[in-house]
């Protein structure tokens, strides 16, 4: 079997997009100036801040608990589901719809806030995805505490608008 020429998947056009390459190198230089470790640590700090807010509002809603700051396993990513039936596979369709509606409502707000959600199987024996959770990524350069507070307040409001019971 002959593999395709690498140029067909590295670059589909015949010439370089130099402005894009310069923008990428400038972005990397900017991150290097701040410091990759500083960005990581601040992102984790924001992630733990959000996790604490979630735990205070909806105890037990986090899929992964907050970690010690700056441990090798700490992350700026927060995944959670505030609904009572979050572990009930028969409620998956209802919860998936609710989580999708909340994410869309936040994206329609002013200012727009884009959070994602993820789905997965609870076990290898599950026939298909039967768990869903919000997924919020805090960023050490582009976010601040006030933005996290604003997003969280609006998230709480939109979750309440679903009419579903929360933890």
Please give the share of the chain, as a percent, with pLDDT higher than 90.
69
The reply to whether 154 falls in a domain is yes
Q: Could you tell me if 86 and 61 are in contact, meaning their C-beta atoms sit under 8 angstroms apart?
A: yes
Torsion sign over Cα 137, 166, 104, 156: negative
Write the Ramachandran bin of 60: left for phi over 0, alpha for psi from -120 to 50, otherwise beta: left
Mean pLDDT, range 75-103, rounded to an integer: 96
Q: What CATH number is given to the structural domain containing 108? A: 3.90.1150.10
What's the pLDDT score for residue 161? 98
The reply to whether 166 falls in a domain is no
What's the pLDDT score for residue 51? 93
CA distance 136 to 79: 6
The reply to whether 115 falls in a domain is yes
Query: pLDDT-derived band of residue 60, with 50, 70 and 90 as boundaries?
Result: very high
| Structural domains counted in the chain | 1
The reply to whether 30 falls in a domain is no
What's the pLDDT score for residue 6? 61
The reply to whether 5 falls in a domain is no
Query: pLDDT-derived band of residue 18, with 50, 70 and 90 as boundaries?
Result: confident
The reply to whether 29 falls in a domain is no
Residue 117 belongs to domain spanning: 36-161
Mean pLDDT, range 126-139, rounded to an integer: 95
Please give the share of the chain, as a percent, with pLDDT higher than 70.
87
The reply to whether 139 falls in a domain is yes
Mean pLDDT, range 53-74, rounded to an integer: 82
The reply to whether 111 falls in a domain is yes
Question: Whole-model pTM?
Answer: 0.82
């Amino acid at each position: 079997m002959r593999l395709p020429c690498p140029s067909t998947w590295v670059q589909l056009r015949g010439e370089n997009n130099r402005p894009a390459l310069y923008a990428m190198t400038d972005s990397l230089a900017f991150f290097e100036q701040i410091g990759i470790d500083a960005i990581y640590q601040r992102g984790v700090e924001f992630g733990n801040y959000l996790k604490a807010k979630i735990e205070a509002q909806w105890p037990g809603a986090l899929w992964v608990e907050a970690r010690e700051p700056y441990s090798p396993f700490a992350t700026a990513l927060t995944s959670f589901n505030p609904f009572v039936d979050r572990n009930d596979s028969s409620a998956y369709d209802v919860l998936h719809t609710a989580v999708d509606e909340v994410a869309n409502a936040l994206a329609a707000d002013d200012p727009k806030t884009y959070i994602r959600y993820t789905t997965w199987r609870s076990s290898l024996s599950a026939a298909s995805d039967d768990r869903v959770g919000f997924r919020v990524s805090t960023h050490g350069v582009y976010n601040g505490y006030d933005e996290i507070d604003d997003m969280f307040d609006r998230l709480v409001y939109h979750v309440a608008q679903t009419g579903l019971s929360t933890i």
